[in-house]
Amino acid sequence: MRTLKLVVVKRGTIDMIKICLFFHRTNNFILVLFRFRVVLQRDGSKDRSITSSSKRHRSRSHDREKEKKSKRFHRRSTSQSSNDDREDSLSITNISRKTTINELDDLASRKKAEIDRLAELERERTQLLRQKETRENLIQAEVDRRVKDIVEIRVREELERRKDEIENEVKRRVDVLKRTMEKQMLIEIEKRNHEEIRKLIIKEEEERKKREDLEKILAENERKLTEAKKKLAEEEEKLRTEQLRLMEDRERFERQLGKQHAREQNLILGKNKTRQKISFTLNSVQ
């Protein structure tokens, strides 16, 4: 007789179908015990129930393993007597398998319908939220527009009611601002005039210093020019004196030269008995 395997399914339908298909492929008999209803929401109490169910399932599996070993030992000793039981077990297994598959299909269909219903509810909820948000935005926009219109109307009415007061206040502020600006302009002009005067004084002082420096330079140049003229006059005087001396020396030389030339001429011509007489004497020859 094949081993009975109990599977406690509490998770989603898809996980349950995967487990059933796994046991179906291994050709084991599956007895699915639905102790809990499959739901989408997972809370703390359900998790704790899953944990306790898993512990019970592990303890039962351990007991079944022991029972399995004892049955195998018993089956070896009574193999011939259990042929009929095996055939009955196989038929029961096939019937149970078909029943389990049909139940799984039915549960999957119900689960799918539940999921579709919840998805439809979620879409409707999302659509309602969007519509609500749109309405709220429209209402807020309309409220803002009306508030803006009311504020503009109130402002115009208030301006119309306080027109004279506002004009007087504006004039007063303009006059105050005008006087303030005039005062600032006068202060600025006075400050500018003081600055211009200061610059002018500085410039005049600089010009005076330049003029004094120039006068000093001119006086120095004039002194140097006077000294140069004086030196030039002295040099000219020396030059004239030297020229006179040279002229006197030249005249003296020319007179001496003339006298010498006259003596030479007289000597040549024998004038004034300047030529000496030539005496001739004859001496006897022995």
Q: What is the DSSP string of 211-242?
A: HHHHHHHHHHHHHHHHHHHHHHHHHHHHHHHH
- Separation between Cα atoms, residue 237 and residue 245, nearest integer Å: 12
What is the band of 285 on the pLDDT scale with cuts at 50, 70, 90?
very low
Q: Please name the helix (run of DSSP H) or strand (run of DSSP E) that holds residue 5, with its range, or none.
A: strand 4-8
Name which residue leads in pLDDT, 60 or 243.
243
Nearest to 5 by CA among 33, 38, 25: 33
Confirm if 2 and 29 have CB atoms less than 8 A apart. yes
Q: Which two tokens stand for residue 77?
A: 């000793």
pLDDT at 4 over 70: no
From CA 64, how far away is CA 5, in angstroms rounded? 8
Q: 242 or 86: which carries more pLDDT confidence?
A: 242
**Residue 81 pLDDT > 70:** no
Task: Check residues 263 and 12 and name the one with the higher pLDDT.
Answer: 263
Locate the domains of the chain by residue range. Answer: 4-125
Question: Is the pLDDT assigned to residue 278 strictly greater than 90?
Answer: no
Residue 33 banded pLDDT, cuts 50, 70, 90:
very low
